[in-house]
Amino acid sequence: MAERVVQAPRRGFATRIGTYFARHAQVLVGSLGRLARKPFSTFMTAAVIGIALALPVALHLVVQNGRALAGRLDTGTDMSVFLKSEVDLDGARRVAERIEAREDVGDVELIPADVALERFRARSGFGEALDALDENPLPHALVVKPAEGHTLPADVEALAAVLRALPEADIVQDDLQWVRRFNAILEIVRRTVLLATVLLGSAVLVVVGNTIRLDIEGRRDEIVIIKLIGGSDGFVRRPFLYTGIWYGLAGGLIALLIVTGGALLLGGSVERLATLYNSDFSLRTLGVAAGAVLLAAGGLLGWVGSWIAAARHLRAVEPT
C-alpha cells in the first residue's frame, strides 16, 4: 500500500505579505538600534548631511523671499501717464476711471495740471521763471499702480503697452530698470541654487556611501556567516539600506532645524528693517509641505547612497 505524502499547507497571500512587512519592520528597527549604540559617530555623520542639505534650502529661501520682496517694493513699477494737452480735467477723470476698472490695476491717482505746476514750483526753485509764463505748460497726469500679483516686469510692460495705446495718452513713463536688474540677480541666485543642490546632493551620496562602506568592512565576518547559511544578497543588503535611510532622515531633520532656526533669528531684524520702509514684509520660512519634502529628499539620498555602496562592496565579501 503506497504511503500518502502529506504536504504542508501553503501559506496564503496575506500571510506572506504580513511576513514580508514584519521582516522589513524588524530590520528597520534593528538598524536604528545599531545606530543608537554609537550616538556620537551617528550624529556627526547626520550633521554633515544636514549642513549639506541646509545650504541649498537656505539659498532657495533667499530666492523666494527676494521674489516676495520685489512684489512688495512695487513703487518702481508705478507708471506716469501724461495726457495730451487738449484733454480737460473731466476727460482726465474719465480716463482714470477707465484705467482703474482694469483687473491688473490697483490704484490710479489723478494729478491735475494746476497741482503738478504747484509741486514743480515748490520743488524746482524756478518760481519766478514760472510766474513769467502766460499759461500752464504741464498736462494732466495719472500715476498708475499695478495691482498686487501683477508687478512682474512682463505684467508691467504689458500694462504700459495698453496705456500707450490710449488715444488720450501722450507719454507713458515707467521705471522698470531696477526691477529687471533685481530679477536678473535672483535668476543668477536661482541657478546657483540648482548647481549647489546637485553638488551638495552628490556630497551626501559620498558621505553616506563611505559610511556604509566602513560599516560593511566592520561587519565582514557577520556577512560571511549569513552568506554561508544561504542568505541572499538582498537579505544582506537590506539593513544597510535602512541605515542609509536613517542617516538621510536624520540629516534632513538637522537641515530643517538649521534653516528654521536661522529664519527665526533673522526674522525680527528683517521685520524691524521693513518697518523703517513702511512695509509689513516678513521672512518666509519652510512650510509643513516643504519640510516634508526636505525629509523625504534626505531619506531618498541616504537610500541611494547606501544602495550604491552596498551593491559595490558586498560583492567583495564572499565566503572562502
Q: Quick one: pLDDT band at residue 87, thresholds 50, 70, 90?
A: confident
Q: What is the rounded average pLDDT of the residues 94-101? A: 89
The total number of structural domains in the chain stands at 2
Both 170 and 189 in one domain: the answer is: no
DSSP letter at 81 equals: E
Q: What is the rounded average pLDDT of the residues 116-130? A: 63
Tens of pLDDT, residues 132-149: 566 667 788 888 888 877
Query: Do the Cβ atoms of 169 and 81 come closer than 8 Å?
Result: yes
Both 245 and 299 in one domain: the answer is: yes
Which amino acid belongs to residue 27? V
Query: Do the Cβ atoms of 282 and 270 come closer than 8 Å?
Result: yes
Residue that is last in its domain, among 149, 174, 199: 174
What is the residue range of 198's domain? Answer: 20-71+181-316
Per the structure block, which three cell numbers stand in for 88? Answer: 480737460
CATH number of the domain where residue 125 is located: 3.30.70.3040
Both 96 and 233 in one domain: the answer is: no
Q: Quick one: pLDDT band at residue 116, thresholds 50, 70, 90?
A: confident
Residue 37 lies in a domain: yes
Helix (H/G/I), strand (E/B), else coil: 173: strand
29: burial class by Cβ within 10 Å (0-12, 13-18, 19+)? exposed
pLDDT for res 304: 93
Helix (H/G/I), strand (E/B), else coil: 52: helix
- Backbone angles phi and psi of 2, in degrees to 5: -70, 140
Rounded-to-10 torsion of CA 231, 232, 233, 239: -60
Tens of pLDDT, residues 225-239: 877 887 777 778 888
Tens of pLDDT, residues 28-71: 888 888 888 888 989 999 999 999 999 999 888 888 887 776 65
Length of the chain: 320
Both 166 and 199 in one domain: the answer is: no
Whether residue 6 is predicted with pLDDT greater than 50 in this model: the reply is no
Q: Which region among 19-33, 140-154, 266-280, 292-306 has the lowest average model confidence (pLDDT)?
A: 266-280
Both 108 and 127 in one domain: the answer is: yes
Residue that is last in its domain, among 136, 152, 174: 174
- Backbone angles phi and psi of 111, in degrees to 5: -115, 100
Q: Where is pLDDT greater, at 77 or 266?
A: 266
Residue 13 lies in a domain: no
Query: Do the Cβ atoms of 42 and 249 come closer than 8 Å?
Result: no
